[in-house]
Amino acid sequence: MFKAEIFFPDKKVRKIFEAEDKNLGRASYIIKENNKNIIFKIKAEDISSLRAALNSITKTLDVYEKTKNVK
């Protein structure tokens, strides 16, 4: 089992991921919050699945960052 965590400093992003399927085949993730961050806890059966899950999450976060100031 492979694991990773992503900490993201904008809690508004949680709404984007609520509609997403958190089971990605051989990988899955849960979303938690602490005082300052949204935390993505990712688990995967193998390293390739972990990388794919990380890429999926970070691509969505990247699009959010690029578009949040567009009016």
Per-residue pLDDT, 3: 97
Identify the H or E element spanning 37. Answer: none
Per-residue pLDDT, 68: 82
Task: Determine contact, residues 38/8, Cβ cutoff 8 Å.
Answer: yes
Report the domain count for the chain: 1
- With a cut of 80, say whether residue 69 has pLDDT above it: no
CATH number of the domain to which 44 belongs: 3.30.310
Domain span at 63: 2-67
Distances (CA, A) of 57 to 65, 71: 12, 24
pTM: 0.86
pLDDT tens profile 13-68: 999 888 776 887 899 999 999 999 999 999 999 999 999 999 999 999 999 999 98
* Identity of the residue numbered 32: K
